[in-house]
């Protein structure tokens, strides 16, 4: 267990050592037990967190806000449109000022080729730790919750096969931060990762290279498939979700036209039957029901999406308790 996490930013899981991540998970499991037993755990009494949102949220806002209250502190919700950011407040000024008012800053900024750079610029100026609630490149807390859920449901993740697959959705060009963060973290924990997607839905080459290096160093594998059914075959964990063709086009209409070529990339009972009988279905939510995944799967016995969503609360509390005390 690492005991020196106070003041650390968490912008990508790549920024933390494997031992630091294991410490966070250990604390998350402890906090989950304490909540189940009704044991108070006000480790952040009188501490405050600024939550700066450039994008809407359901799970992220609710879990961070509830988590801070359960830790004895206070979370301030700040919609970017209610600030002076559009009138000239720079990332440096946000970091300098909020870092003096608050004990931590959490930011969601998913604009393509802007979000991660903005969060890192805030962090460079802030005396308080900065937590990434999702950007255009990474979604660390979702993926930490995913790993926690896999450990709960399947035990030691080493040697398990996870299919990280694109799926069709009719909604907007969703960020690529979830699949990118998945392939980065799961390879570090020795999983055999399949990245399955049509050719237009590539991930950032530098992220793929980092995931390949993680697999080499930690005993996992990373393979690439372009056949939706093949990705499911004998998998222990399936994680099919939509993401945008952002490395192919930034035009929404062109992206929508590309997506319509793959409307059959939907997770249904036939696809789930290709995976192992005890395979689990995961999704970060929200999902496009009966477009991205059928009701029978997402509401079925192999789905763990609500446990997965709950674990957002616990890993985020662990990160806040460890970095903001």
Q: What is the pLDDT confidence band of residue 67, given thresholds at 50, 70 and 90?
A: very high
Three-state DSSP at 145 gives: helix
Q: What is the pLDDT of residue 102?
A: 98
Tell me if 196 sits within 8 A of 161, measured CB to CB: no
Instruction: Count CA atoms closer than 13 A to 289's CA, side-chain side.
Output: 7
Q: What is the pLDDT of residue 73?
A: 98
Give the mean pLDDT of 174-189: 98
Of 250 and 192, the one with more pLDDT: 192
Average predicted confidence (pLDDT) for the chain: 97
pLDDT at 250 over 90: no
Q: What is the pLDDT confidence band of residue 168, given thresholds at 50, 70 and 90?
A: very high
**Sequence ranges of the domains in the chain:** 13-139+311-324, 141-308
Token couple for 146: 């995913």
The percentage of residues in the chain with a pLDDT greater than 90, rounded to a whole number, is 97
pLDDT at 171 over 90: no
Q: What is the pLDDT of residue 170?
A: 87
CA distance 309 to 312: 5
Give the mean pLDDT of 4-17: 98
pLDDT at 93 over 80: yes
Q: How far is CA 122 from the centre of its chain?
A: 20
Please tell me whether the overall predicted TM-score, pTM, comes out greater than 0.85 for this model. Answer: yes
Q: Which residue in 73, 74, 77 sits closest to 51, CA to CA?
A: 77
Query: What topology is assigned to 13-139+311-324 in CATH?
Result: Rossmann fold (3.40.50)
CA distance 106 to 50: 6
Give the mean pLDDT of 146-171: 97
Query: Are 13-139+311-324 and 141-308 in the same CATH fold?
Result: yes
Of 14-18, 111-115, 240-244, 250-254, the range with the lowest mean pLDDT is 250-254
Q: What is the pLDDT of residue 232?
A: 98
Q: Given strand 48-53, what is the order of strands in its sheet? A: 74-79, 48-53, 104-109, 130-135
Query: What topology is assigned to 141-308 in CATH?
Result: Rossmann fold (3.40.50)
What DSSP assignment string belongs to 179-247? Answer: HHHHHHHHHHTT-EEEEE--TT-PPPHHHHHHHHHHHHHHT-EEEEE--HHHHHTT-SEEEEE----TT
Give pLDDT tens digits for 22-48: 999 999 999 999 999 999 999 999 999
Give pLDDT tens digits for 251-286: 989 999 999 999 999 999 999 999 999 999 999 999
Q: What is the pLDDT of residue 203?
A: 98
* 3-class SS shares of the chain: helix, strand, coil, % to 5: 45, 15, 40
Give the mean pLDDT of 221-225: 98
Burial 276-300 (b: 16+ CB within 10 A, else e): beebbbbbbeebbeebbbbeebbee
Give the mean pLDDT of 293-322: 98
């Amino acid at each position: 267990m690492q005991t020196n996490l106070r003041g650390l930013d968490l912008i990508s899981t790549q920024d933390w050592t494997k031992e630091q991540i294991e410490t966070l998970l250990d604390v998350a499991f402890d906090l989950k037990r304490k909540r189940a037993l009704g044991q108070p755990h006000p480790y952040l009494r009188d501490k405050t967190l600024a939550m700066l949102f450039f994008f809407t949220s359901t799970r992220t806002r609710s879990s961070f806000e509830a988590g801070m209250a359960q830790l004895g502190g206070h979370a301030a919700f700040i919609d970017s449109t209610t600030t002076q950011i559009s009138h000239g407040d720079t990332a440096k000024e946000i970091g300098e000022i909020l870092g003096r008012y608050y004990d931590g800053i959490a930011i969601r900024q998913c604009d393509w080729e802007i979000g991660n750079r903005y969060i890192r610029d805030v962090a460079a100026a802030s005396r308080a730790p900065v937590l990434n609630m999702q950007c255009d490149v990474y979604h660390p807390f979702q993926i930490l919750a995913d790993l926690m859920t896999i450990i709960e449901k399947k035990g030691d993740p080493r040697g398990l096969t996870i299919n990280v697959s694109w799926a069709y959705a009719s909604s907007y060009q969703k960020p690529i931060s979830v699949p990118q963060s998945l392939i980065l973290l799961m390879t570090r924990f020795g999983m055999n990762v399949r990245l399955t997607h049509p050719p237009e839905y590539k991930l950032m080459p530098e992220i793929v290279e980092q995931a390949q290096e993680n697999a080499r160093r930690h005993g996992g594998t990373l393979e690439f498939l372009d056949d939706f059914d093949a990705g499911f075959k004998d998998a222990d964990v399936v994680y099919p979700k939509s993401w945008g063709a952002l490395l192919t086009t930034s035009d929404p209409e062109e992206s929508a036209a590309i997506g319509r070529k793959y409307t059959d990339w939907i997770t249904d009972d036939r696809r789930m039957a290709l995976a192992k009988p005890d395979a689990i279905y995961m999704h970060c939510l929200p999902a496009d029901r009966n477009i991205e995944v059928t009701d029978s799967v997402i509401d079925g016995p192999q789905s763990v999406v609500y446990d997965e969503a709950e674990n957002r609360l616990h890993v985020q509390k662990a990160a806040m308790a460890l970095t903001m005390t």
